Amino acid sequence: MKRALVCALLLAAALSAKEHHYLYAASPGIRNYLEYGGMGIVVFDIEDHYKPVRRIPTWDPPAAGQEAENVKGIAANAKTGIVYVSTIKRVGAWEIVSGKKLWDKAYEGGCDRIALSPDGKVLWVPSLEGPTWTVVNAMNGDVIATLRPNSGAHNTIYAPDGSRVYMAGLKSNLLNIADPKTNTIVGTVGPFANPIRPFTVNGSNTLVFVNVNSLLGFEVGDIKTGKKLYRVEVKGFEAGPVKRHGCPSHGIALTPDEKELWVADGKNNRIHIFDATVMPPKQGQSIEVRDLPGWITFSIDGKTAWSSSGEVIDAKTKKVTALLKDDQGHDFQSEKLLEIVLDGNKVVRAGDQFGIGGKK
């Protein structure tokens, strides 16, 4: 019995050792600034000290005198093996393993931060701060439906269980909730104090945590009742002008176990960590980063956090363990990145650009 158990453990270890973890980061992922990583999807080998191992071409570099298109979002699915990138004008789809482009389409009104259904079949594409969201067939880019909340379409989250799509606009202090079965808006959360910027939800679809304009901190909403519950301000740090995004906190993420909430501070180049096991969340440790943090993403297992400013952070010790550099040796920054796990040439898991809670 003991020998059988040992053999089983060794086999399991051998099988798990075949998996390899990568970070896929779309660039230019800080506005249209090519100095932070050029153009393309830059692939970092997580297990080899984040060595850049590949660059998947996305779109042609801009012609002389022209500007690159800002990358607005990234999404991927392990079942289909496809990664998607949105810019201010279009959405493109690439095979994760081969890097082959599958389709590339521009949409009326432009595009912003996309969300992908858990089965990888449907994309929700917000227009560029416009009135509509476009529901798209993720296999070919064809339009399925259009919703018009007139909220200044911006950030979008697909609930992990596929039951809801959350839509935040730059011109509204209400979070719209849609039913993807009917492609209709079925509820709202708020009003919050100001228009919603980055936000995240817990895994049970009961709470939403939102950054809002003019607040160094966040607000909390009850998805079930639609009411705002709490306003939480970061203590011990002054809010003030920021060089991007126009709001003190632009970046918020739950750890997958939902024990912590990480919040960006663009004025002080910090990430503030809150205990999310109590409500309202309680402020704790802060981490200094090298540049303005405009987004926070977690690894699938929750052991690592990636700041858009290029830091790799150990989520347990809160220590910076690496700084991303691209294949040209330049400091790399991007607000649009996620983890991909491969077993040989098979995609076995794909992370998410948002720090969404993982508890059901």
What would the pLDDT profile of 10-46 be if each residue is shown by its tens digit? 334 444 458 999 999 999 999 999 999 999 999 999 9
Q: What is the CATH number of the domain that holds 246?
A: 2.130.10.10
In a domain, 119, yes or no: yes
In a domain, 285, yes or no: yes
Q: Which residue has the tokens 């012609």?
A: 63
pLDDT, tens digit, for every residue of 173-217?
999 999 999 999 999 999 999 999 999 999 999 999 999 999 999
Structure tokens that stand for 74 in this block: 């990234």
pTM as predicted = 0.94
Structure tokens that stand for 132 in this block: 């509509």
In a domain, 203, yes or no: yes
pLDDT over 60 at 344, yes or no? yes
Q: Which amino acid is at 137?
A: N
**3-state SS class at 8:** helix
In a domain, 11, yes or no: no
Question: What's the domain count of the chain?
Answer: 1
Find the domain containing 45 and state its range. Answer: 19-350
Enumerate long-range contacts of 12-17, CB under 8 Å, 24 or more apart: none
CA distances to 70, 247, 339 from 111, rounded to whole Å, are: 10, 21, 23
In a domain, 277, yes or no: yes
**Pick from 281, 298, 297: nearest CA to 235:** 281
In a domain, 131, yes or no: yes
In a domain, 345, yes or no: yes
Q: Which residue has the tokens 């639609």?
A: 226
The overall average pLDDT reported for the chain is: 95
